[in-house]
Amino acid sequence: VVVVVVVVAIRVVVATAAVVVVVATAAVVVLVVVEKNSISTVVVVVVVVVVVVVVVVVVVVVVKVVLVAVVVVVVIVLVWVVATVVVVVVGLGIDVEVSDPVSVLGFAVTVFLFFVCPTIPL
């Protein structure tokens, strides 16, 4: 029983970390894309939300702790959406030179979490 609980806990932590990385990266990317290309903010946000949802589905499948994963994910996504709306409304500037490496790093970590970690039996 203890082993199962530990395994589940590890999976939840990994999944949560992955979602946080994806969400943070997505938020940075939204800001950078909007600032660089003046694309419709709504279009960018919708695309990113779709991507996040797809990632969330992957996380839930990997984790197999559906209820916990869903609750964690829903909370994080809601917080992110609210934060994004606030940022867009307030129109905060962002330093593109600083954010680009952050985006690259975020994507690298995300790719590792989703394509490497699932192959490592927890």
- Host domain of residue 75: 2-119
Average pLDDT for residues 66-93, to the nearest whole number?
A: 58
User: What percent helix, strand, coil does the chain show, rounded to 5?
Assistant: 90, 0, 10
Does residue 91 have a pLDDT over 60?
no
Domain count, the chain: 1
72-84 residue pLDDT tens: 666 666 666 666 5
Q: Tell me which residue of 36, 34, 51, 18 sits closest to 85, measured CA to CA.
A: 34
Give helix then strand counts, H and E, for the chain.
4, 0
Quick one: pLDDT at residue 120?
A: 46
